[in-house]
Chain A
Amino acid sequence: MIGFERFELSNGLKVLVHEDTSTPMAVVNVLYDVGARDEDPSRTGFAHLFEHLMFGGSVNVPDYDEPLQLAGGENNAYTTNDLTNYYCQLPADNLETAFWLESDRMLSLAFSKKSLDVQRKVVCEEFKEHYINKPYGDVWHLMRELAYKQHPYRWMTIGKELSHIENAQLDDVKNFFFKHYTPVNAILVVAGNVKVDQVRALSEKWFGGIPSGTRYERKLHSEQPQQEERRMTVHRNVPMDAIYKTWHMCARRADDYHATDLLTDILGGGASSRLYQSLVKEQQLFSNISCYHFGSLDAGLLTIEGQLVKGVEIQKAEAAIEAELDKVRENILDDRELQKVKNKTESIMAFEDMSVMNRAGSLAFYELLGDGNWMNHEFAKYQNVQSSDLQRIAQTVLQPTNSNTLWYLSNN
Chain B
Amino acid sequence: MVNRTIAPPIKDAVEYDIMLKRPETFSLTNGVKVYRVQAGTEEVVQIEWVFRAGNWFEKKRTIASSTNFLIKNGTSSRSAYEINEFVDFYGAYLNRTCFNETAVITLHCLSKQLEQLLPLVRELITDAIFSEQELTIYRQNMKQKLAVNLKKCDFVAGRKIDAMLFGEHHPYGVFSRTEDYDALDREELRKFYSEYYTHGYCTIFSAGILPSNSSALMERYFGDLPLNTDAKEGVQHAIVPQSDKQLELINDPDGVQGAIRIARPFITRHHPDFPKVQVLNALFGGFFGSRLMTNIREDKGYTYGIYSYFQNHIHAGAWMISTEAGRDVCRATIDEVYKEMRELREGDIDADELMLVKNYLIGTLLGDLDGPFQIIGRWKNLILNGLDDQFFYHSVATIKSIGAEELKELANKYLHPEEFYELVVV
Contacts and interface: CB of A to CB of B under 8 A. Distances in A.
Interface of A: 20, 22-25, 59-61, 65-67, 69-74, 89-91, 93-94, 96-97, 99-100, 103-104, 107, 117-126, 128-129, 132-136, 205-206, 209, 237-240, 270-272, 277, 280-281, 284, 287-288, 307, 309-310, 336, 339-341, 343-348, 350-351, 353-356
A237 B252 CA distance: 10
Contacts of A133: 152-153, 252, 255-257, 324
A310 B141 CA distance: 10
B364 A72 contact: yes
Interface of B: 1-2, 4-5, 7-13, 16, 40-44, 80-81, 84-85, 87-93, 108-110, 137, 140-141, 144-145, 147-148, 150-153, 252, 254-257, 287-289, 297-304, 324-326, 355-357, 359-360, 362-364, 366-367, 370-371, 373
Contacts of A339: 89
B2 A209 contact: yes
A119 to B, nearest CB: 7
Contact of A22 (B41, B145, B288, B300): B41
A122 B301 contact: yes
Given A128-B326, A238-B151, A240-B148, A272 B84 contact: yes
A89 B367 CA distance: 8
A343 B90 contact: yes
Contacts of B8: 94, 96-97, 99-100
A25 B18 CA distance: 13
B88 A344 contact: yes
Given A91-B366, A125-B304, A133-B324, A343 B91 contact: yes
B301 A72 contact: no
A135 B110 contact: no
A226 to B, nearest CB: 31
Contacts of A240: 144, 147-148
B11 A24 contact: no
Contacts of B84: 270-272
Contacts of B304: 122-123, 125-126, 129
A20 B87 CA distance: 31
Contact of B301 (A71, A103, A125, A128): A125
A315 B139 CA distance: 24
B10 A94 contact: yes
Nearest to B365: A72
Contacts of B370: 23-25, 355-356
17 contacts: A59-B4, A72-B362, A94-B11, A99-B8, A107-B4, A122-B303, A129-B324, A133-B152, A238-B151, A270-B88, A307-B144, A307-B148, A336-B89, A340-B89, A343-B90, A345-B91, A351-B44
B148 A238 contact: yes
Nearest to B149: A135
A71 B13 contact: yes
A104 B152 contact: no
B242 to A, nearest CB: 26
A351 B301 CA distance: 37
B256 A100 contact: no
A21 to B, nearest CB: 10
Given A120-B301, A122-B301, A134-B152, A61 B360 contact: no
A74 to B, nearest CB: 5
A24 B366 CA distance: 7
A351 B108 contact: yes
B377 to A, nearest CB: 13
A119 B303 CA distance: 10
B257 A20 contact: no
A240 B144 CA distance: 7
Given A97-B8, A355-B371, A350 B44 contact: yes
B179 to A, nearest CB: 16
Given A133-B153, A287-B140, A351-B108, A281 B360 contact: no
A190 to B, nearest CB: 15
Contacts of B303: 122, 125
A70 B42 contact: no
Nearest to A308: B144
A124 B151 CA distance: 21
B301 A129 contact: no
A121 B297 CA distance: 9
Nearest to B426: A133
A365 B211 CA distance: 33
A37 B254 CA distance: 31
Given A69-B360, A118-B298, A135-B148, A351 B89 contact: no
A122 B360 CA distance: 24
A73 B363 contact: yes
Nearest to B299: A118
A73 B92 CA distance: 33
List of 9 A-B pairs having minimum Cβ-Cβ separation, nearest first: A72-B363, A121-B301, A347-B91, A72-B13, A343-B91, A60-B4, A272-B84, A271-B84, A239-B147
Contacts of B325: 125
Nearest to A341: B88
Contacts of A277: 81
Contact of B89 (A118, A209, A284, A343): A343
Contact of A353 (B42, B91, B360): B42
Contacts of B80: 271, 281
A75 to B, nearest CB: 8
A133 B110 CA distance: 40
A103 B326 CA distance: 35
B157 to A, nearest CB: 12
Contacts of A118: 297-301
Contacts of A66: 289, 356
A125 B332 CA distance: 15
B91 A288 contact: no
Contact of A100 (B1, B7, B359): B7
A280 B289 contact: no
Nearest to A22: B41
A343 B117 CA distance: 14
A300 B140 CA distance: 34
A154 B142 CA distance: 34
B110 A60 contact: no
Given A118-B299, A121-B301, A347 B10 contact: no
A272 B81 contact: yes
B181 to A, nearest CB: 12
B137 A72 contact: no
A189 B309 CA distance: 33
Contacts of B257: 125, 128-129, 132-133
Nearest to A89: B367
